[in-house]
Amino acid sequence: MPPPSLPRPPIRPALPPACPRQIAAVVLNHPSSDLSPASTRSLSASLLAVAPALPTPVVDSVLKLLWHHAPRALLFFYSLLHLPARAHAVASSTLDLALDLSARLRRPRELTHSILALYPRHRLAFNPRTFPILFERLAVTLPLFNSLLDALAKSRHAGKAASLVRALEQRFPPDVVTYNTLADGWCRVKDTSRALDVLRQMVESGITPTKTTYNIVLKGFFRAGQLQHAWNFFLQMKKRGSKDDSCKPDVVSYTTMVHGLGVAGQVEKARKMFDEMSKEGCAPSVATYNALIQVICKKGNVEDAVVVFDEMLVKGYMPNVVTYTVLIRGLCHAGKIDRAMTMLGRMKNEGCEPLVQTYNVLIRYSFEEGEMEKGLDLFERMSKGEECLPNQDTYNIIISAMFMRKRAEDMALAARMVEEMVERGYLPRKFMFNRVLNGLMLTGNQELSRKLLRMQEKYRRLRREIRV
């Protein structure tokens, strides 16, 4: 008996390319101009109805058209962040325009901080225009300057952040937040020696390091793979903490130790650290339990992780989406897909909404176990928007899975996945696109091959590379 055909996912008809003036009109006619979540989500839905994708040139043109309507322009900007599969359209030029617009409002501080935070979140570098906008449009204060440093540090530009502090030291004398931000920046690029230099400079300038400072450096040692340094630093924190409470390890310190030791393969040591913290009068948090469950799933036995999860419940802790997702991943990795699905149901019954990453884990492992229908059923629930929408990783997982059997209907489904992901605003990798195109040609599907070839001509990044 032949295996059942895979279901064809629904493909919505393509909409014409977005016109900046048409988009601007939608924004101006929106019933509200406030920046509340309800208003931005409502505008997002309206935009999605008229434009399948909003590339950066279109977005920037709309912002310029709305330049004299700053509240409306910023409403449009924030609504972009709620669009499914449109994060790729957020570019440095767009953020610069939003910064400039926020500076024109009466109370720009909060908006400016939130826009600056988007640079590292979207892994975007500052443009040459960013700094003039901040220093010319805004009366930059130390908190705002620290926000700028934080964005640089999280974007892995610790050197630039340090240079900026040196250049503007007279205008913005560094405070504890400044030093902590610089230390974090160096730790993110695994340069712990410079982070320790910042710590010394901090003490020499008369500023007392805080627990946050010590926790930043402690995490930096683990990031750099310097386990012995991390262990010695933690022992120094405990020793000094007996006399100075600002040095005494807190729940963040212990959570960092549990995670760092466990990731390094020292699960027993991580467990002992977890047990020690309660004896030291430091109660674990949900994040601490998450760290322990994660490392046991990765380096130990998933059944031990389930025991920790049950212990967590008995002690009155409320698991969050991270707890469930790491445990579901652990169960899947151990080949216990059915129990992972049960955990998903339990998660939803407890009112904890799964993330797209939760579904991606279940879909990927379902395919790896050969349960194609189960994986596609999960994807269909996502596509309907019942809980969360698929992202680029979801599509890549499904397309890759279609090459396990290499049947004609599997290649057709892979092609439809490519069409749908492009329609949702994701551009597939060239390798993946060409692999699907080759598969269609080898299975004789000329109709879908022509569709993908037309798509290839439209998007120049999808270089033609056909193997016969």
Q: Is residue 242 part of a domain?
A: no
Compute the average pLDDT of residues 401-409: 85
- Shared domain check, 38 and 103: yes
Q: Is residue 5 part of a domain?
A: no
Compute the average pLDDT of residues 200-204: 94
Q: Is residue 1 part of a domain?
A: no
Neighbouring CB atoms inside 10 A of 52's CB total: 19
pLDDT at 10: 47
- Where residue 326 falls among pLDDT bands split at 50, 70, 90? very high
Total domains, the chain: 5
DSSP 168-203: TTTTS---HHHHHHHHHHHHHTT-HHHHHHHHHHHH
Token look-up 């993908």 returns 452
Query: Is the per-residue pLDDT at 403 higher than 50?
Result: yes
User: pLDDT tens digit string along 407-420?
Assistant: 888 899 999 999 88
Q: Is residue 291 part of a domain?
A: yes
Query: Is the per-residue pLDDT at 383 higher than 90?
Result: no
- Shared domain check, 133 and 59: yes
User: pLDDT tens digit string along 30-47?
Assistant: 888 888 888 888 888 888
Q: Is residue 412 part of a domain?
A: yes
Query: Is the per-residue pLDDT at 138 higher than 50?
Result: yes
Q: Is residue 20 part of a domain?
A: yes
- Shared domain check, 228 and 155: yes
358-362's contacts with Cβ under 8 Å and 24+ in sequence apart are 358/321, 358/324, 358/325, 358/328, 359/387, 359/388, 359/390, 359/394, 360/391, 360/393, 360/394, 360/397, 361/325, 361/328, 361/329, 361/332, 362/328, 362/332, 362/337
Last residue of a domain, one of 178, 204, 237: 237
- Shared domain check, 408 and 371: no
- Shared domain check, 129 and 19: yes
- Shared domain check, 57 and 22: yes
- Shared domain check, 126 and 48: yes
pLDDT at 89: 53
- Shared domain check, 326 and 313: no
Q: Is residue 4 part of a domain?
A: no
pLDDT at 108: 59
Last residue of a domain, one of 180, 206, 237: 237
Query: Is the per-residue pLDDT at 18 higher than 90?
Result: no
Q: Is residue 257 part of a domain?
A: yes
- Shared domain check, 458 and 380: no
Lowest mean pLDDT among 49-58, 73-82, 164-173, 456-465: 456-465
Query: Is the per-residue pLDDT at 218 higher than 50?
Result: yes
d(CA 260, CA 220): 10
- Shared domain check, 97 and 75: yes
Last residue of a domain, one of 356, 390, 424: 390
What is the pTM assigned to this prediction?
Answer: 0.74
The residue ranking higher by pLDDT, 324 or 34, is 324
DSSP 333-386: HTT-HHHHHHHHHHHHHTT-PPPHHHHHHHHHHHHHTT-HHHHHHHHHHHHTTS
User: pLDDT tens digit string along 150-168?
Assistant: 988 988 889 989 998 998 8
- Shared domain check, 326 and 312: no
- Shared domain check, 131 and 61: yes
Give the whole-number percent of the chain exceeding pLDDT 90: 40
User: pLDDT tens digit string along 170-200?
Assistant: 888 999 999 999 999 999 999 999 999 999 9
Element at 241 (helix H, strand E): helix 227-241
Domain extent, residue 262, equals 250-318
The residue ranking higher by pLDDT, 397 or 88, is 397
